[in-house]
């Protein structure tokens, strides 16, 4: 039996005037689905998004669990992100140079979006001060206790949207949050079409 791929007529949907740069941070021991899930989602957004990976250097990065990835850019030659995605994992391995890059890149980005324990990276550099946030359920208490400048840490939401800064719960929640962010930018029709193309159940915040 011949397998037929059914594609979505994206050309009938809203398009951006120019692609948005979607930078996905990589670092040693980042969680695979944290970065690979959003990568697939925004690639499914077609020509609306220029999706790429960034690490401290262009050398291979060993992500968790033991998957070798070659970043497309370093923090020294990366295009300026419109959307900056910070995955979780063993976040304490992120260097001060990389944290400085995140802080600088976040000033020009339209959206900064953490997945899972990526929220701890944002908290470390003060990007969650005065905001509401969430993270992987195993890190909720730690985030509350160690970063008191966060307005509120929520333990009952898939993601928390502060406008520019968005945090998601653990691992697979980053996929749902990516579709949500796509819907903010392009509308729900685009997000639902992309989810259908990936055969993923579309998630709404309500």
Sketch out the chain's domains with CATH numbers.
18-197 (3.40.50.880)
Distances (CA, A) of 110 to 82, 105, 151, 169, 192: 5, 10, 21, 21, 22
Residues recorded for the chain: 206
**What pLDDT tens digit does each residue of the chain (206 aa) get?**
444 444 555 667 878 999 999 999 999 999 999 999 999 999 999 999 999 999 999 999 999 999 999 999 999 999 999 999 999 999 999 999 999 999 999 999 999 999 999 999 999 999 999 999 999 999 999 999 999 999 999 999 999 999 999 999 999 999 999 999 999 999 999 999 999 999 999 866 54
Distances (CA, A) of 26 to 55, 56, 68, 90, 155: 5, 8, 11, 11, 26
Question: Which pLDDT score, from 0 to 100, does residue 15 have?
Answer: 86
Distance from C-alpha of 30 to C-alpha of 111, rounded to nearest angstrom: 20
Task: With beta carbons less than 8 A apart as the criterion, state whether 38 and 200 touch.
Answer: no
To the nearest 10°, report the CA torsion of 162, 81, 71, 185: 60
Which residues are registered as beta bridge partners of 197? none
Q: Name, in order, each residue with C-beta under 8 angstroms of 5's C-beta and a sequence gap of 6 or more.
A: none
**Model pTM?**
0.92
């Amino acid at each position: 039996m011949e397998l037929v791929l059914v594609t979505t007529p994206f050309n009938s949907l809203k398009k951006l005037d120019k692609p948005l740069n979607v930078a996905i941070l990589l670092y040693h021991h980042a969680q695979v689905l944290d970065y690979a899930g959003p990568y697939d989602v925004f690639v499914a957004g077609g020509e609306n998004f220029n999706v790429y990976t960034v690490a401290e250097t262009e050398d291979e990065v060993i992500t968790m669990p033991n998957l070798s990835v070659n970043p497309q850019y370093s923090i020294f030659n990366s295009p300026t992100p419109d959307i900056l995605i910070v995955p979780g994992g063993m976040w304490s391995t992120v260097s001060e140079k990389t944290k400085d890059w995140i802080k600088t890149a976040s000033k020009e980005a339209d959206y900064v979006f953490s997945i899972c324990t990526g929220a701890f990276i944002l908290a470390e550099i003060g990007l969650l001060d005065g905001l509401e946030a969430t993270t992987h359920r195993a890190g909720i208490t730690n985030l509350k206790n160690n970063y008191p400048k966060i307005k509120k840490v929520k333990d009952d939401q898939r993601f928390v949207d502060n406008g520019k800064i968005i945090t998601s719960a653990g691992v697979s929640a980053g996929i749902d949050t990516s579709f949500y962010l796509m819907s903010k930018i392009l509308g729900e029709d685009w997000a639902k079409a992309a989810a259908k193309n990936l055969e993923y159940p579309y998630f709404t915040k309500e």
